[in-house]
Amino acid sequence: MAGWTTLVQPDVLAMALQRPDVVIVDCRFSLADPLAGEHAWHASHLPGAVYAHLERDLSNMARHGEGRHPWPDEHAFLARLQQWGISPSTQVVAYDDGDGAIAARLWFLLRVLGHEKVAVLDGGLKRWIALGLPASSVSPRPVPAHYAGHFDRSRLLDAAAVEAHLANGGILIDARAPERFRGEQEPLDRVAGHVPGAINRYYMNNLQETGQFKSPMQLAAEFRALLGDRDPTQVVSMCGSGVTACHTLLAMERAGLRGGKLFTASWSGWITDPARPVATGP
């Protein structure tokens, strides 16, 4: 059976809830209250869904100087996948209760492991509930699986690699809101502005007003306008901490533009060195 590799629609997933090869991962998280997502999961979640905590499972918060959500340790992440019952052949579906950014972080983590069968629930939990689809408060007991693999480090860039990328004519897309990119507002980081040479495409522009992703054709047209004739492998995505940047990479792959890279530390990592330049304005 062909897998879902970017998005899956709620009605399609609802028909696959009993499939033994499908693992659903609830990625709800709030920066304002890091425990809120897990508490909400305990109360109600998609049937069978395990819980992924952004800072405990999808980041390595012990790393300093690598932004607010440092890329996780490979061994720890593989161990967590195994605990969730995920093997390289598992169809993984990630969801959150917002715009899909946290779910996209898990999507990209798995993609960098070479895992193809991973998708984000289009419209997230809100659309699932709006359609009247089932929920559960029963905590799953996944059967542990085996997962051996390695991150493709060529798709993960640090600040020095980003500087070299820009010097070589590569594209750096900053997914933050325009006012943060311009340096007019900065609610999370101590310095406002952006990496000189970056271009701004707010990640929310990947979505329709309904909260679902735009069509592949529409996304392809919009990204092609940014990329010109350059290959998608020449694109590096960034944001504040390397989370919403994954939303951009998911949208690009939905548009058939595969191979984009991630500036893992993003803006919060860039500004840890005061010698690095900061730009403001459009």
CA 282 to chain CA centroid, nearest Å: 25
For 190, other C-beta atoms within 10 Å of its C-beta total 8
pLDDT per residue, tens digit, the chain (282 aa), is 468 999 999 999 999 999 999 999 999 999 999 999 999 999 999 999 999 999 999 999 999 889 999 999 999 999 999 999 999 999 999 999 999 999 999 999 999 999 999 999 999 999 999 999 999 999 999 999 999 999 999 999 999 999 999 999 999 999 999 999 999 999 999 999 999 999 999 999 999 999 999 999 999 999 999 999 999 999 999 999 999 999 999 999 999 999 999 999 999 999 999 999 999 999
Whether this model's pTM surpasses 0.95:
yes
Token readout for 7 is 């998005």
pLDDT tens for each residue of 213-271: 999 999 999 999 999 999 999 999 999 999 999 999 999 999 999 999 999 999 999 99
Q: What is the Cα–Cα distance from 225 to 181, expressed in whole angstroms?
A: 19
How far is the CA of 133 from the CAs of 136, 157, 280, in angstroms? Answer: 10, 40, 45
Q: What's the whole-number average pLDDT of the chain? A: 97
| Catalytic residue set | 239
Contact 59, 44 (CB under 8 A): no
Query: How many CB atoms lie under 10 A from the CB of residue 156?
Result: 18
